[in-house]
Each structure stands twice: as structure tokens, then as C-alpha cells.
Amino acid sequence: MIRGLYTSALGMITQMSRMDVVTDNIANVDTTGHKRDQVVSQSFTEELMKRLHDPGMRMFKDYPVGQVSQGVFVDDIYTDFSPGTFRQTNGTLDLAMDGQGFFCVDVNGTEMYTRDGSFTTLPDGTLVTSDGGHVKGQNGDILLPNGYIVIDENARVFVNGQYIDTLQMTDFSDKHTLRKTKDNYYTVTAESEKVPYAGRVEQGYLENSNVSSVKEMVEMITLSRAYETNARMISVHDQTLARAVSDIGRR
């Protein structure tokens, strides 16, 4: 009976963790280049339940009843890196990546990576992200003089027909080794291995989030019902334990 309480409690904790992820996905449904997260759950190793010292089974030392699991827990948070759709903005510094990869950005001296191509410039012409991270070119920071800006599909930057620099972009052999940070950035881990970016750049477009608000709302309803079911099971176990204690006490 106590085992049932623990199993139901673990189920509630797991549903709460999954709900946190779904809520974050919904909050970022309109965030440029955002990639949705998913929870990977895993069940504890099943154990063989046996009947011990059962008078009805005197010929056996123990009698197997069947396998029983101790419940599930959150094993990992998995990021879905599938591309989002493009929306046309006609913004000169709005860029979308047609392919797998990331823009390289310098944030306070740390190299980070993003799919958000909604860039702007500082007063001195330095190309930056919407939150001030310096967009990296092959020669460092990209300084844009006044003039007509063209960024071609190979990420080469021209101002009034004069070549300025080429955006620094990269991909990774296994993107699931990256870690999300704030402001729509990713950082590398010890297992991250860079590979050349093989896609194209589209000027005047931005990549939408790959979050489907409808799917996330359906998932939220499912999680709410699973949470309520586990809560009811805890209540049932509690009532059964209270009745057992009461009956034993009367005897």
C-alpha cells in the first residue's frame, strides 16, 4: 500500500516537470527561432512480486505474482531542432537560416549560438542581436557603414556593393550536446563538435518557432488529467490505510 503512495507521488512529480516544459514551449510560441523541448520519461526497473508464506501455497517456498514497476521519473529534456517556417519581414537585417546550424554571437566575451536572426546595429554600426550580443564575422565584429545593405545566400555582407565581411555560422555533429541558456542562446559542452554550416541565408525573413500551440494545449490537458488521476490514487491509498489502521486498532 505504501508502495502505491510512492508510485502515485512520483507520477505527480513527473507530470509537474512535463507541465513546466509545456508551459515554457507555449510562452515561446512567438519567439524567433525557438526550438521546443520535450520530456523523456523512464520507468524504474521492474521487480518480480512474490507471495511469501502463503498458507494456500505450502508446497512452494514462494509464488511469483508478476512484475511490478515503482513508477516513472524524468530522464532527460530533449530539444526538437526541426526547422520552423519562415515569415517575410523585408527587414534589411532580418535573416533566416535555410538549413541546420547557428549564427555565432559574442556575448560578454563568451561565444554563443542562436537561430534568431533579428539583428540590428549599435550607433557605431556594429551588428548585434536584439539583446546586444555581437554577431561574429570571419574577421571579428561586423561594422556596417551607412548605405544599402545586401546579405547574400552565402552570408556575405555588402554595403553599397562593397564587400564587408561574411557572417560566421556553424553546425554541430550532435546538436543535442548543446545546452539552452537565456535570451534564446545555446552554449557548447565538452561533447560538442563543430561541423561546417551547409545551408543558405535568406535576407528579409525570420524563422518562426517550431512550437505548435494547438499540440501544446492538447498536451497540457493530457498532463492535467494524468496529474489529477495520480492525486485521486493517493487519496484512495490514504483512505485505505486509514481504514486499515482503524480496523486493526479496534481489534
Give 159-209 pLDDT, tens digit per residue.
Answer: 999 999 999 999 999 999 999 998 899 999 999 999 999 899 999 999 999
Low-confidence ranges of the chain (pLDDT < 70): 1-4, 41-75, 247-251
Q: How far is CA 155 from the centre of its chain?
A: 28
Write the pLDDT tens digit of every residue in 85-103: 999 999 999 999 999 999 9
Kind plus residue range of the DSSP H or E element containing 128: strand 127-128
CA angle 135, 138, 143 (to 5 degrees): 50
Distance CA 51, CA 174 (A): 48
The pLDDT value given to residue 13: 82
Q: Distance between CA atoms of 128 and 25, rounded to whole angstroms?
A: 25
Task: Please provide the average confidence, as pLDDT, over all residues in the chain.
Answer: 85
Q: What is the pLDDT of residue 133?
A: 94
Residue 157: which of 98, 95, 205, 86 has the closest Cα? 95
Eight-class DSSP state of 203? E
State how far the Cα of 231 lies from the Cα of 227, in Å rounded to an integer. Answer: 6
**pLDDT number for residue 173:** 94
pLDDT score of 77: 82
Question: In the 8-state DSSP scheme, what is residue 82?
Answer: P
The pLDDT of residue 74 is 66
pLDDT at residue 54, rounded to an integer: 55
What pLDDT sits at residue 147? 93
The three cell numbers of residue 173 are 555533429
Read off the pTM: 0.76
